[in-house]
Amino acid sequence: MKIGIGSDHNGFEFKEEIRQFVEEITDHELVDYGCYSCDAVDYPDVAFDVSQAISEGELDRGILICGTGIGVSIAANKYPGIRAALAHDPYAAERAQLSNNAQIITMGAQIIGAKVGKKVVEAYLNVEWAEGSKRKVDKINNKEKEFVGNE
């Protein structure tokens, strides 16, 4: 699996811990979309880059981090076809994938610590969508197509 990871400056240190953790526990390819320091960065830019890469098939999943996880979630969900889910506990992360086929999870560095964040990421990466809620995900996708005008 190819996973994109990114954060704004508020999530930089948290992202670095999560990035290192994913590299240690998996053999997934991890692509870092920044930021690369604590210098100010606008979270939508990073969220849009990861969302676009997923949309174009360059990535399978993404992990986005900002101060609360809310901003990157909102930004990523503006990209057509993307389902980004805020997850601050392992159960939510698991359900994001199992029930909603979320390509991206988002977390807040100022909300949860690295210990919980690692458990969230591990839960998210250890499950695959089994299409159990396909009818519901299809409804979401079809509504989006109405607004975006895609077929």
Q: What positions carry a catalytic annotation?
A: 66
CA 123/CA 114 separation, integer angstroms? 14
Q: Amino acid identity, residue 126?
A: N
How many residues are there in the chain?
Answer: 151
Q: In what order do the strands lie in the sheet with 29-32?
A: 29-32, 2-7, 61-66, 104-108, 84-86
Give Cβ neighbours of residue 150 (< 8 Å, ≥ 6 apart): 80, 144
Give Cβ neighbours of residue 91 (< 8 Å, ≥ 6 apart): 123
